[in-house]
Amino acid sequence: MLPIRGIDHLVLRICDEQRMLAFYCEVLGCTLEKRQDALGLIQLRAGDALIDLVPVEGPLGRRGGPPPDRDGHNLDHFCLRLAPFDEAAIRRHLAAHGVEVGETKPRYGAEGTGPSLHLQDPDGNTLELKGPPDA
């Protein structure tokens, strides 16, 4: 068995670099870690993990086929673990950025069952924001 400790990174093929950078950095709080413009790769720090953004018009993006859209995603969803999970504060913050949020429900994750909610980024990728496991 491999000693898996969490998500290292995930890769999203994107259509609008500026909108996606604004969403992931300004709305969710990721930071720019590294740009590899010759490859067409933007790497964002998300806690202990990375979210890689690959513009579809760049060298890597052109290899992946048609661009993502609301009817054809390259990813079902990914989950970001939040600590603390202050639902009211999270909802206020996202609403201030015009982001619609789904119902908060207990869902099972890597650390057990805890509160989570779903939302979508500007390209229609679904994100789950998850709190700590219930006591």
- Please report, for the chain, the start and end positions of each structural domain, with discontinuous segments joined by +: 9-130
Which distant-in-sequence residues (6+ apart) come within 8 Å of 98 by Cβ? none
CA torsion, points 90, 68, 9, 54, in degrees to nearest 10?
-110
pLDDT score recorded for residue 73: 66
Question: Residue 79: its pLDDT value, please?
Answer: 92
pLDDT of residue 2: 59
The pLDDT value given to residue 62: 83
* Residue 67 pLDDT: 79
Query: Residue 119 has what pLDDT?
Result: 93
- What are 34-78's pLDDT values in tens digits? 999 999 999 999 998 999 999 998 888 888 777 777 776 677 789
**What confidence tier does 134 reach under pLDDT thresholds 50, 70, 90?**
confident
Which CATH superfamily does the domain covering 9-130 fall into? 2,3-Dihydroxybiphenyl 1,2-Dioxygenase, domain 1 (3.10.180.10)
DSSP string, 23-68: IIIIIS--EEEEEETTTTEEEEEETTEEEEEEETTSHHHHTT-SPP
97-132 residue pLDDT tens = 999 999 999 998 888 899 999 999 998 888 899 999
